[in-house]
Amino acid sequence: MMDPAGNFDYPDFYFELCQLISGGETAAGTEGFSPEDWRKIAELAQSEGVAGLLHWVISREQAPFDVLDDVRTGLAQSYYADAAQNALLLDELDQVLVALSRAGVPVIVLKGAALGRELYPDPALRPMNDLDLLVQPSKLRIAMKALEKCGYQVLKSTYHVVLQGGPRQSVTIELHWNLIAASSDRMEKYLDGVWKRALPLKADDSPVFRMHPADCLLYLCAHLIWQHSQERPRLLWFYDLYLLLQRYGQQMDWGELADLAIESGWGQPLYQALLGVEQRFGTQHPAGFIDELAHQAPVVRRLPGKGQTTNQRMQRWLWDSTGGLPWGLRLQMWMGLLLPDPAYMRWRYRPRADWLLLVYYPLRWWMLIKDGLVNRIK
């Protein structure tokens, strides 16, 4: 069976795990689970990024779940590891935002760093590996210098700038100047709207923002479906959308959301991801919205399988994604796209032997140049 993100099979106990973390399954409903079943559910939760959530659920239920002590201990260890990691990252985030504010750089906090505090009952329940920040293209160089003054060093520059610093060089910051799609004329217009609709993240006058719920929903859908099209989307990302819809679904202007999806060109990922949320957690959108979205916006119901990509993605990265940047930074980004690190090349092309990487670099250059030229001619 294929799910909305193009995957063919669900792991065993996948939907049981969905019900557990969303509160749809109680201890009474799991009486038939054997100790081995619980072990498999816990292992699945680990791989899907929701082990801390599962620990939180089974620890708070008044009627106790029949879970073996070693399984409970493993889930608790995941929760406390995430709690420690998130405390480090969020503390560093607060310091970084102060530095960027002093430098006069408006910032929108993206993904886990924003969602953990806004949507989750405990920020430790939303695992994070890094901090994602959105700045305006004209402020990117200033932001980089402000972070370098805080002790951060640039690791690589491609479609975003990756910096590392913080305590014991343990914090990674991804500095974005655009979102998923490239800076085409349509996306530049949409990004202008994202900044205008952004909401203050703090009570003071600092230029720190979070995305408007409609923009956040669109961005998370696009990130889930397009950014991770070559891997199976983690349940954690669908759960982010579930919580966002739980919090804002009743007050959201769904007509405006459909218009924004068309304006941004993100009708397809919105369609795919909302179907995924519905399949995992139940309907979270007005009746008929999916059909109306499919009618208004061009929607592809199946995405390329694992290991495939589209020429459009490559065109965007090389030829469009650096639009609006100073030429010095633009050249730096292009070099990062043309000469990515070996770890990325192994993930992207999956060569059978490391020495084949030497073959894949020229192949990548040819594909990028060819696709870019075809895009320009069209």
pLDDT of residue 1: 36
Helices (H), 27-128: 35-48, 51-60, 69-102, 111-118
Per residue in 275-289, pLDDT (tens digit) is 999 999 998 888 888
Per residue in 120-139, pLDDT (tens digit) is 999 999 999 999 999 998 89
Closest listed residue to residue 319, CA positions, set 378, 260, 231:
378
Q: Which residue has the higher pLDDT, 158 or 86?
A: 86
Taking the C-alpha atoms of residue 293 and residue 260, their distance in angstroms, rounded to an integer, is 11
Backbone angles phi, psi at 200, to 5 degrees: -60, 135
The number of angstroms, rounded, from the C-alpha of 196 to the middle of its chain's C-alpha atoms is: 22
pLDDT of residue 364: 79
pTM across the whole model: 0.82
**What is the chain's percent helix, strand, coil content, to nearest 5?**
60, 10, 30
Query: What's the topology of domain 14-296?
Result: Beta Polymerase; domain 2 (3.30.460)
**Domain map (residue ranges) of the chain:** 14-296, 311-377
Per residue in 214-250, pLDDT (tens digit) is 999 999 999 998 876 556 789 999 999 999 999 999 9
| Residues 170 and 91: beta-carbon distance below 8 Å | no
Backbone angles phi, psi at 45, to 5 degrees: -60, -40
Which residues have a Cβ under 8 Å from the Cβ of 81 and sit 6 or more positions away? none
Query: How many degrees, rounded to 5, is the angle at CA 52 between CA 46 and CA 53?
Result: 105
